[in-house]
Structure 1
Amino acid sequence: MSHSSMRAPTVRRQRAAGPWGWLDLAAGLALVALLAEWVHWAFAAPGGLRFTAGGVYVAIATVLLWTWPSARLGLGWANRVTLLRAVLIAIFAGLVAYPAFMQRHVEGIAALALLALSLDGVDGWVARRTGTATAFGARFDMELDAFFIAVLCVAVVALEKVGSWVLLLGLARYLFVGAGMYWPWLHRELRGSVFRKAVCVWQVATLLLCLLPQVDAILAHALALLAALLLFVSFARDVVWLWRRRPHAIRIG
């Protein structure tokens, strides 16, 4: 999650497994369609959910295939778990487009987000148990985490719990990546950090809490400000660490 997405664990390369990746992604799209229909039938969700959720999933799948062509060769069970998370996040993101519906069913939508969050880590466990950890799988999981945080920020704003400034929490990781285009030393592999992981968990937990109707705008602002402060400290620690280890040939400015 967050800027920790920049640090990919040391894993082996993915082996070619045949053209099953396309079938996995198609199955994911079918599941998005089924879930959207169920939400529409069970909760009278807007008909446009089929297009918003489907559009988000297609965008995820397109980026997946464009950025990591190895995904076309097959995902494997660990990455299928990550893909299931992508399906749930696509439904969640599709619902964010309808704030009025979210207001009426905020507990259910928060439960959906919690379910997506609970699957985080399961894919890594499956990969370790089956000996199928790959660089692609690690990056897929990390990028999906970053996107999920961004969507949660949009949801909190849509519910008018926190001002639009909270979007910076979701954009922080992408700003960090963008800065690396000008200062390549920011793209160096980061050391492992318990603090960074704790901040990421706190960030997601805070955004999930802010969705709940029991949390009013004042408390939501206080929680979001604390999350932002912790995220700033986490970024600052990593930037300083990377600065001290930058190649001497690179200059700033």
Structure 2
Amino acid sequence: MFGGDTYNATRTAEVEPPVAQLCLASAALALVLGVASSMTAGSAAVSLVVFAVFVGFLIRGLRQSYPHDVLGLCNVVTLTRTAMVAFLAGAVLAPAVNPWLMFSVATLAFSLDGVDGWLARRSGLTSRFGARFDMETDALLGAVLATWLLASGKTGPEILVLGFMRYAFCLAGFLFPALQADLPASFRRKAICVVQIGALIALLFPLTPDIAVVPVSFLAAALLTWSFLVDINWLLRRTE
């Protein structure tokens, strides 16, 4: 997670400022996250643990593979998205949280996706670390939303396909090392990721009619499964 090319020890001094900036931004967001979770009947402990674990991986990734000497607003935006996802995670075990609040926070977190990439390109701070950071935040958002939908009884277990397909793919990589290779950039993959998260948020919308739940969840799951199968086939054929 957040891995990449490892830089030698002579770059340590260059990496330290982004780590310090990340820790400062994380501390401020953690304070806001704890207060917000407590005020909305969410589990502050769960939210803070999820956020802290994620930040731990980020620090490791910064030290291993981040090529710039500043963290940048782009990564701060993604970090803010991560804090929003952690807030949603704390609400999974708190049924008293207002579903409209869940929907609003999820929509905002999703809406900011792409802003970080635009900021990175504009400021010249693009990196593999940033791309991976964004992708892992999206994956966690999907997992949290799918878990909430299942726990709330709004959908059946089929929704877990939308939330945990990426993590299943990563686990499969331990059994089939060929799946750990890098994939080429793909518009199809990005588009279906939008469909995946968009479908989860649509199902989270309190006014979504019950009759639409099954078609939306199954169609999005089918598209996501197809996309992963295309990538798996490409990766396995490379080793033949």
Scaled to the shorter chain, the TM-score interval is 0.7 to 0.9
3-state SS, counterpart of residue 218 of structure 2? helix
Contact residue 15 and residue 62 of structure 2 kept, 8 A: no
**Structure 1 gaps, min length 5:** 249-253
Is the aligned partner of 1:87 residue 2:88? no
1:27–1:192 distance in 2 versus 1, CA, 3 Å: closer
CA displacement at 1:39 relative to structure 2: 5.6
CA displacement at 1:20 relative to structure 2: 4.4
Q: Which protein, 1 or 2, shows the higher relative CO under an 8 Å CA cutoff with sep ≥ 6?
A: 1
Identity percentage of aligned residues: 37
Contact residue 25 and residue 76 of structure 2 kept, 8 A: no
TM-score under structure 1 normalisation?
A: 0.81
1:39–1:245 distance in 2 versus 1, CA, 3 Å: closer
Contact residue 21 and residue 71 of structure 2 kept, 8 A: no
Query: How many pairs does the alignment contain?
Result: 232
1:87–1:136 distance in 2 versus 1, CA, 3 Å: same
Equivalents in 2 of 1:224, 1:167: separation in Å? 10
Is the aligned partner of 1:161 residue 2:168? no
From 15, 18, 26, the equivalent of 2:16 is 18
Range with bigger deviation, 107-116 or 24-33? 24-33
Matches within 5 A, 1:213-228: 213-228=206-221
Over residues 202-249 of structure 1, what are the superposed CA-to-partner deviations in whole Å (9 max), with x where a residue is unaligned? 111110011112124442122111111111111111122222222x4x
TM-score under structure 2 normalisation?
A: 0.85
**Structure 2 gaps, min length 5:** none
Q: Which residue of 2 aligns with 1:56?
A: 50
1:179–1:40 distance in 2 versus 1, CA, 3 Å: closer
1:40–1:175 distance in 2 versus 1, CA, 3 Å: closer
Matches within 5 A, 1:5-44: 16-38=14-36, 40-41=38-39
1:159–1:244 distance in 2 versus 1, CA, 3 Å: same
CA displacement at 1:175 relative to structure 2: 1.3
Q: Which amino acid aligns with 2:109?
A: A
Q: Which residue of 1 aligns with 2:188?
A: 195
CA displacement at 1:80 relative to structure 2: 1.2
Contact residue 29 and residue 58 of structure 1 kept, 8 A: no
Over residues 20-50 of structure 1, what are the superposed CA-to-partner deviations in whole Å (9 max), with x where a residue is unaligned? 4244334323323224424644xxx22x632
Q: Which amino acid aligns with 2:131?
A: A
Equivalents in 1 of 2:70, 2:19: separation in Å? 4
Range with bigger deviation, 211-220 or 228-237? 211-220
Contact residue 78 and residue 127 of structure 1 kept, 8 A: yes
Equivalents in 1 of 2:18, 2:237: separation in Å? 44
Is the aligned partner of 1:139 residue 2:137? no
Q: Which residue of 2 aligns with 1:76?
A: 72
Equivalents in 2 of 1:171, 1:40: separation in Å? 28
Over residues 79-101 of structure 1, what are the superposed CA-to-partner deviations in whole Å (9 max), with x where a residue is unaligned? 111111111111121122212x2
3-state SS, counterpart of residue 16 of structure 2? coil
CA displacement at 1:158 relative to structure 2: 2.1
From 204, 221, 227, the equivalent of 1:234 is 227
Q: Which amino acid aligns with 1:176?
A: F
Equivalents in 2 of 1:24, 1:236: separation in Å? 36
Q: Which residue of 2 aligns with 1:251?
A: none
